[in-house]
């Protein structure tokens, strides 16, 4: 769970409503402006918990992307094997990123009211756990944030009872956007399935 100072951050590219039918295309377009042309491998670090609804977007994204484009896309963090506060440091240390790799970090976030239920893309690494006062390593070359709730008191208890349909729908939109970006970046055929 990421707490982002969204309003005044120049590294943010866009606020995207997950409800818009073209939201995955917007995510794809923004990723295209960030991913270096020489990138040979893309990693998705899908951060979050499989036991807290408001923090489950990362594991949902990881699960949806698992098995897609195996030559070019590696996913770390799924519902079955979450990349959360208890596993993040160890698993990052275990990963050897080859040269010309690009890492996209995905996490849930809290933010101001105008950003709630929006997807935000940032050109900087994410600092997971910030909203819950965890000190964890930064992750990624860029980040995709799913702003689930407004930043307010007692946020930890509110995260548990978040709307599962919203969490899953936002995760599916993000996964589709990443999948479209990978498919086009590596020039897979148009008939290649976007999600498994």
pTM of the shown model: 0.91
User: How many other CB atoms are found less than 10 A from the CB of residue 168?
Assistant: 15
pLDDT at 33: 92
Question: Which residue blocks in the chain are alpha helix, DSSP H?
Answer: 23-34, 57-65, 88-94, 155-160, 164-185
Q: Above 50 in pLDDT, residue 121? A: yes
More confident residue, 119 or 150: 119
Q: What is the mean pLDDT of residues 61-67?
A: 97
Tokens representing 171 are 């995760």
Residue 131, pLDDT > 60, answer: no
The answer, yes or no, to whether residue 192 has pLDDT greater than 90, is no
Q: How far is residue 87's CA from residue 72's CA, in Å, rounded to a whole number? A: 24
Closest CA relative to residue 85, chosen from 55, 129, 45: 129
pLDDT at 113: 86
pLDDT tens across 133-176, in order? 667 788 999 999 999 887 766 655 566 778 899 999 999 999 99
Which pLDDT band holds residue 40 (cuts at 50, 70, 90)?
very high
The predicted-structure confidence for 84-98, as pLDDT tens digits, reads as follows 888 988 998 899 899
- Looking up tokens 């770390």 gives 76
CB atoms within 10 A of CB 162: 18
Please say whether the beta carbons of 175 and 195 come within 8 A: yes
Q: Which residues of 63-78 are buried (b: 16+ CB within 10 A; e: fewer)?
A: bbbbebbeeebbbbbb
List, for residues 51-60, the tens digit of each pLDDT value. Answer: 988 899 999 9
Q: What is the pLDDT of residues 24-39, one digit of tens each?
A: 999 999 999 999 999 9
Please report, rounded to a whole number, the percentage of residues in the chain having pLDDT higher than 90. Answer: 61
Tell me the longest C-alpha to C-alpha distance in the chain. Answer: 48
112, pLDDT greater than 70: yes
CA distances from 55 to 34, 41, 62, 95, 97 (A): 25, 26, 13, 23, 26
Domains of the chain, start order: 2-185 (3.40.50.1450)
Question: What pLDDT shows up at residue 101?
Answer: 97
Rounded CA gap, 113 and 111, in Å? 7
pLDDT surpassing 50 at residue 4: no
């Amino acid at each position: 769970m990421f707490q982002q100072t969204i309003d005044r951050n120049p590294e943010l590219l866009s606020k995207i409503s997950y409800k818009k039918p073209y939201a995955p295309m917007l995510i794809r377009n923004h990723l295209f402006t960030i991913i270096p042309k020489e990138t040979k491998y893309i990693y998705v670090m899908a951060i979050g918990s499989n036991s807290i609804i408001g923090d489950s977007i990362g594991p949902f994204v990881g699960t949806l992307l698992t098995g897609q484009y195996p030559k070019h896309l590696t996913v770390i963090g799924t519902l079955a094997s979450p990349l959360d506060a208890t596993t993040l440091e160890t698993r990052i240390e275990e990963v050897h990123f080859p040269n010309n790799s690009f890492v996209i970090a995905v996490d849930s976030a809290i933010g101001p009211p105008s950003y709630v239920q929006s997807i935000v893309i940032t050109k900087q690494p994410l600092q997971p756990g910030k909203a819950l006062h965890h000190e964890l390593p930064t992750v990624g070359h860029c980040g995709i944030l799913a702003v689930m709730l407004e930043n307010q008191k007692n946020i930890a208890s509110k995260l548990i009872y978040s709307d599962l349909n919203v969490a899953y729908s936002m995760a599916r939109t993000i996964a589709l956007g990443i999948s479209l970006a990978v498919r086009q970046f590596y020039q897979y055929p148009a008939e290649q399935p976007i999600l498994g």
